[in-house]
Structures are given as C-alpha cells and as structure tokens.
A = this chain, B = another copy of it.
C-alpha cells in the first residue's frame, strides 16, 4: 500500500495576473478544463485510493481543494500555518501520514506540474513504488533536459542500479544547484544530468529516519507537533513550532546529504509550467506564431501570446509579447522577461496594490 502527498503550497507568482495570492497556479486550469491539482490527483488514479491521497497547503485553500477534489477526505488536507520550504512541508506530511502508513511508500508530487504521457507516468511510478518499497533507498524522478534551463536543480545520474517492475533505476551521483547558463549548456550536452523534478518516492519510515539524521532541528519540531496530533493543542503547537522551523528545501536538507538515492528517468513529457512562455508551448498557434485565448484580432503581430477571457483584444505591430488581461489586471511582458513577473508582483506590492496580488 502506498500514499500520495501532493504539495500545493506554491504561490505561482510567475503566472500573475491569472495566479493570485488567493488562487494560485495549482488551482487554475492552465491547460484544458481541469485544474493543475485535479490533473495531479487524476494522474495517480489506479495507483492509490483517494483516501490515501494527502494535500499540503495553506489554510486559505482548504475550501478550494475540497471543491476541486470533492471525494478527498477533509482530514487528508494537511494545513501548513505558513510556508517554511519543502523540508518542513514534507516533514509535516510525514508526521500525518505515518499515523496510518508507518511503513508504506509515500509519493511526493508537486500540485502544479504538467505531464503529457500519463500512462507512462503511472508505469514509472509503479517502478518507483517497487524500488522504494524495500525501504532502503529514496527514489527521485529526473527529467532529460531539452534546453539549457537555469531555473532547475540537476541530478547527476550514476551507475545503473536495478530494474523494478520493468523500470530502470540509477544511483544518484550527486545533486546540483541551479546552474549558470554555461553549466546548463554543458549539462544539456552531457547526457547524464537530469532535471530535478521535485517528485520523490520513499518509504515513510525511511524519510522519517533521514529527517532525524540530516535535519535534527526539523525532526525535533516535528516530534512536538506529532505529540499534539488529534488534540486541541495541535493548532497552537503547530503554529508555534512552525515559526522556528528551518527554512530549507528537502533537496538541500536531506537528499543531497543522503547516500542512498536512486533516480528514474522520467520520460513522460514533463513540464513544470514555470511561466507563461511554458503555456505558449502547448497552445495552438496561428500562422504567425500567435496564440489567442479569448476574442480579438492580430494585426502585423508575431509570436505573441494573449490570454484575455473577457476583454476583446487587438494587437498591432508587436511581437514576442505575453499579454494577459484577467479581471482587474493587465500584464504586457516581453517573452524574454517572463521570469521577471515575480519582480513585477513585488513592485506592485511595494506600491501598495495588494488587492490585485
């Protein structure tokens, strides 16, 4: 038996103005009619029961999650009082799931990734479950790079390990932080460097042990939380303890320090939809490379992406733009600057426009 923990704590700022504080990326239907969270839940159907799916998110999103995933048990929503990076979020999830699944495999999936080939994804997860069920290794999913991406961490794939349920696993030689462009180019041409997808598969008792070993301060906090689980003191303790938890990613805090990590090459068409330009990749284009999600016309316009569900749009004499007109906001951004949208959100915040964030 296994369980799935879906990490839904992201802020999705790069998708402003569609993604907002109150409705971040993972709860939006960026591709097709289903939301990213719904697609993530759907993707693991047949692998685990809905009772064994957990979602980690802020309290503000509980209602949205229940609305989007109606059959999800209330108690399977693991509320973080505030974000403290992935090690804390995964630690908290571990505390909760080990009540029911002390020796089961836990699959950690971000709520906001896109996967094209779902059957292949399921096959890979089955292999990962088989590998992780031994309780000796952590299993990660690495993605073969197809561009010199500087926005992800990388996994250096090592020797071949075993085959589990028809899926090859490799030892991880090392984890690498986000590279600069030169390094990213090198990684791309090398072949053994994979993108760290942020999807992890491990037995609950193993990750619990690794948290104790590599992040003792986190482990200590988690023990205090666990002691109040199911009591009236839980919420207060959680909030108090969480405040002081180290802000550290699971990659940096645990995976990089562990010596028993495997990687599976996740050849299932993965995309983290990191920015508006990612959506542009999946949209139907006109003969000039333009995308129009909404009503309007392009005049003398090339390679421009428009999302405007309500306002009728006309563009004239422009190219390589991302134009998003959503409710009370408008973004006009050069495609090369899509990563700067986070800065724009910060600038709007600095100017006091909190109502549109």
Contacts and interface: CB of A to CB of B under 8 A. Distances in A.
A332 interface: yes
A321 interface: yes
Given A297-B351, A299-B343, A321-B318, A311 B329 contact: yes
A90 interface: no
A296 B356 CA distance: 10
A323 interface: yes
Interface string A301-335: 00000001011111111100101010111111110
B318 A334 contact: yes
Contacts of A328: 310-312
Interface string A220-242: 00000000000000000000000
Contacts of A310: 328
Interface residues of A, number: 40
A321 B353 CA distance: 23
A330 B325 contact: yes
B317 A334 contact: yes
B348 A312 contact: yes
A344 interface: yes
B337 A330 contact: no
Contacts of A344: 297, 299, 314, 316
A316 B295 contact: no
Contacts of A332: 313-316, 318, 321, 323, 332
Nearest to A336: B317
A309 to B, nearest CB: 11
Copies in the complex: 2
A16 B341 CA distance: 28
A311 B328 CA distance: 4
A341 to B, nearest CB: 7
Nearest to A329: B312
A212 interface: no
A245 to B, nearest CB: 33
Most B CB atoms within 10 A — which of A313, A316, A318, A351? Answer: A316
A310 B219 CA distance: 49
Contacts of A333: 314-318
A215 to B, nearest CB: 37
A353 B318 CA distance: 21
Given A310-B328, A316-B331, 4 more contacts: A312-B330, A315-B331, A317-B334, A325-B330
15 contacts: A296-B353, A297-B347, A297-B351, A297-B353, A299-B343, A310-B328, A311-B325, A312-B348, A312-B356, A313-B329, A314-B333, A316-B331, A316-B334, A317-B333, A318-B334
Task: Kindly list the 9 A-B residue pairs having the minimum CB-CB distance in the complex, ordered from nearest.
Answer: A317-B337, A317-B334, A316-B333, A314-B344, A297-B347, A311-B330, A312-B356, A316-B337, A313-B330
